[in-house]
Amino acid sequence: MLFKTVTSFISDLQFKKYLSLFLDLIYRKKCYFCGKSKDSLKMCPECYEKLEFYDVRANRIIEGADVYCAGVYTKELQKLIRGVKYHRQKELAYYQAKFMYEYFCKLGFEKDFVLVPVPMHQNRVKKRKYNHMDLVCEEFAKLSGFECCFDLIKRVKDTKPQYKLSRIERLKNLSEAFEVDKSHLTNKHILIMDDICTTGSTFEEMIKALKVAGASNITCFATSTPV
């Protein structure tokens, strides 16, 4: 009787062990970039290391505000941004924020920023179900200790997608697209965050709207810039 009990106990342990291994195999995360699952991460260390940082300097100055871009819009960074933005890979927002934060630390700022993601119009949020830059800002806030402010500036104009437009068309498309809620203005420096800075027209229109509302300390920060 004792032998049967011990044998049954061992069998149960072996079953649980194999079941655990089987479930790990099924639910183990695969890297979104290379497909490997050895690290069980959405972005493995090898693929993350392929991301290319941009020079540690302002990419440009728009309306008196410095614009920084963390990386170069090459293969891995492009897939990372598009995964978060278009393909509902929300878990990748952490890696996008991490990449931006590592670059941000190199800039040596000693300011207390409030993070302001580039807003989407409510029609587009309803269609996509989320604003990708809200997710990135939330992760960046966890890493940096800065607070996010999602209500400071709203996109009140349902603009066309920017990527096919010229600079002049982009500025016209974004004209009067943003509205600032002055009740959310503080003395903290504003860090506007976006994924890609191409012509800088989105930043430009947001800066203009914020300055009209009384904001003065503004810095812009994008994940990447085309080269």
The answer to whether the CB of 153 falls within 8 A of the CB of 209 is yes
The answer to whether the CB of 84 falls within 8 A of the CB of 92 is yes
pLDDT tier at 10, thresholds 50, 70, 90 = very low
- Give residue-wise pLDDT tens across range 115-139: 999 999 999 888 889 999 999 999 9
Sign of CA pseudo-dihedral 74, 75, 76, 80: positive
pLDDT of 100: 98
Residue 16 in tokens = 């649980």
Domain locations in the chain as residue ranges: 51-225
pTM for the model stands at 0.84
End-to-end CA distance of the chain: 76
pLDDT of 176: 74
For 129-150, what is the mean pLDDT? 97
CA distance 58 to 68: 5
Q: Quick one: which of 203, 85, 102, 193 has its CA closest to 143?
A: 102
Neighbouring residues of 151: CB distance < 8 A, sequence distance ≥ 6: 181, 184
For 48-64, what is the mean pLDDT? 96
pLDDT of 157: 83
CATH for the stretch 51-225: 3.40.50
Does the pLDDT at position 180 exceed 90?
Answer: yes
pLDDT tier at 22, thresholds 50, 70, 90 = very low
Between the CA atoms of 43, 48, 51 and 53, what dihedral angle is there, to the nearest 10 degrees? 120
Q: Strand, coil or helix: what is 191?
A: strand
153 against 173, higher pLDDT: 153
CA distance 163 to 98: 25
Whole-number percent of the chain with pLDDT over 70: 83
- Give residue-wise pLDDT tens across range 162-175: 666 676 777 666 77
Q: Strand, coil or helix: what is 30?
A: coil
Residue type, 47: C
pLDDT of 9: 45
Query: What is the phi/psi pair of residue 10, to 5°?
Result: -65, -40
